[in-house]
Amino acid sequence: MNISNVSKSASNNWIASGIRRRLFGLIPDITVKKEEPVYRIGRIISRPDVGRAVMGATAILTQPFIDYYNPKVDDDTAKVSTCRTIGKIIAGTTVGCAVRSMCYYGIQALTNTDPNASKWEKLLLPPKSVVNLMNKKHGNWIKNYNSTLATLIGLGVMLFTNVMFDVPLTNFITKKLLPVIGIKSEKKPAATEPAIDNKVTEKREAKEVILERFSNGNKWRAAK
């Protein structure tokens, strides 16, 4: 075992921990007098639809610039790729937020922990024994339960909506952005008739003449 490597590693860890302590020391201490606004912000951010919106906002601010300034492709390819990326982000974020929001509010309506709630309002709740246990140990467990369940169901629904909505909406947005960025929409070339080979035509005509003469000769012999 090399003692010098161990001592060097320990020294590096000590320096790194010292830097972290100094950085955390620069953060001022803040006393939160009202906890409810903080909890309210946390409840909003932890929702699956809001999380998807944050991901979409981050993507729209970074990915198009990466595609547009890609040095490995030509200008037209970079522009088309940028439009395609913007279309995918807008379509994916819009459909994703809509699906997750509907799942979240639908699950919230079907997971009512009130003892006087109807049977349908408790449809997606776990068994009563689990609910009582979670209420004793974790008073705010229903929020995490709703968010997790909404995320899982939303992912399942997105398997179908990606094909039904995301792809057509992405193509539509891309086609609308191409003229804006200076690229004309590509048109399919008109169908052209196949070129006629003159040599093949001449051989075919010569063959037909020979067959016609042979047929006329047979008719002449038969008549004679």
Domain assignment of residue 123, yes or no: yes
Question: Apex CA 53: angle with CA 49 and CA 59, to 5°?
Answer: 145
Domain assignment of residue 93, yes or no: yes
- CB proximity list for 127: less than 8 A, separation 6 or greater: none
Domain assignment of residue 136, yes or no: yes
Domain assignment of residue 66, yes or no: yes
CA distance 161 to 156: 9
120 neighbors 134 (Cβ within 8 angstroms):
no
Q: What is the pLDDT of residue 89?
A: 95
Across all residues in the chain, what is the average pLDDT?
Answer: 76
Q: Alpha carbon of 29 to those of 17, 21, 26, 39, 160: distances in Å? A: 20, 14, 9, 19, 48
pLDDT at 197 > cutoff 80:
no
Structural domain range at position 130: 33-178
pLDDT tens digits for 201-218? 666 666 665 666 656 554
pLDDT at 51 > cutoff 50:
yes
| Total number of domains in the chain | 1
Domain assignment of residue 24, yes or no: no
Domain assignment of residue 197, yes or no: no
pLDDT at 8 > cutoff 80:
no
Domain assignment of residue 211, yes or no: no
Lookup result for tokens 């067959």: 211
Domain assignment of residue 167, yes or no: yes
